[in-house]
Amino acid sequence: MSDIEISQDVLDKLLIPSTATLTAQLSRLGLWNTFMHDVRPLKLDMKMAGPAFTMRYIPAREDLDRIPMDNLTDVQRVGIEQIGAGEILVIDAREDTHAGTMGNILATRIHCRGAAGIVTDGAYRDSPAIAGIGIPAYARAMNANTNKTIHHPIDIQLPVACGGVSVYPGDIIVGDDEGVVVVPREYAVEVAEQGVEQEQKEAFILHKIEQGASIIGTYPADEKTLAEFEEWKKSR
């Protein structure tokens, strides 16, 4: 896990651009595989940004997963009691949606611990209830089956795959209505600053296009349009 400190100001700035803008900034830095495939919000208009707390599931096995639950040894339960305020739980479910990775009681506990969000490339059970808890939650699907029918939690705070993207503990996870992007910690400050700038520029360009401007010289912006953008920023 990287020990680079990420301030709340940086996290707040990462909430301003869209995930589309953030992926553009990451691709500019040579990082092309950062947006989780087929991972969608349970509820719209709930953005999130925070460091990843990772959990990994492997396929369930009867001799391990048909025994009484022990909250003190079950990796899922141990992880839920360790996740910190502002962190985002990222669950590697192998893109298997045949059972939920958790339900609303555990999601509520995560919310009460102050976590900033939950993400899985699997499914949730009790999905409508989770959507109403007040914590941003992203998944590939909904499935009422309990997790131990399919999933066995094996480890926490190790690198995982989620939605086809590598996630390391402490990576910055950002989610909006379109989905979830992974920002490596070492790039978070630059991506936040440049992302806000790009968002402003694209708002200006969109306004010009809406007013009838041609894309030629506007998108991408030529020197004249960039000069107009700088004046527009000053006026705001």
| CATH numbers and ranges of domains, the chain | 32-183 (3.50.30.40), 191-235 (no CATH)
Structure-token pair, residue 64: 């391990």
Between 39 and 234, where is the model more confident? 39
pLDDT band at 65; cut points 50, 70, 90 = confident
pLDDT band at 64; cut points 50, 70, 90 = confident
> Is 60 exceeded by the pLDDT of residue 1?
no
Nearest to 90 by CA among 134, 136, 128: 136
173 pairs with which residues across the strands? 50, 182
Nearest to 1 by CA among 204, 156, 131, 111: 156
- Whole-number average pLDDT of the chain: 95
Task: Work out whether strand 151-156 and strand 180-183 pair parallel, antiparallel, or are unpaired.
Answer: unpaired
Nearest to 147 by CA among 100, 83, 89, 217: 100
Q: What is the 3-state secondary structure (H, E, C) of the chain?
A: CCCCCCCHHHHHHHCCCCHHHHHHHHHHCCCCCCECCCCEECCCCCCEEEEEEEEEEEECCHHHHCCCCCCCCCHHHHHHCCCCCCCEEEEECCCCCCCECCCHHHHHHHHHCCCCEEEECCEECCHHHHHCCCCCEEECEECCCCHHHCEEEEEECCCEEECCEEECCCCEEEECCCCEEEECHHHHHHHHHHHHHHHHHHHHHHHHHHCCCCCCCCCCCCHHHHHHHHHHHHHC
Residue with structure tokens 């066995």? 152
* Cβ-contact 107, 133 below 8 angstroms: yes
Q: Stretch 187-214: mean pLDDT, rounded?
A: 95
User: Whole-angstrom Cα distance, residue 21 to residue 200?
Assistant: 11
pTM above 0.85, yes or no: yes
User: Whole-angstrom Cα distance, residue 133 to residue 137?
Assistant: 9
pLDDT tens-digit profile of 98-144?
A: 999 999 999 999 999 999 999 999 999 999 999 999 999 999 999 99
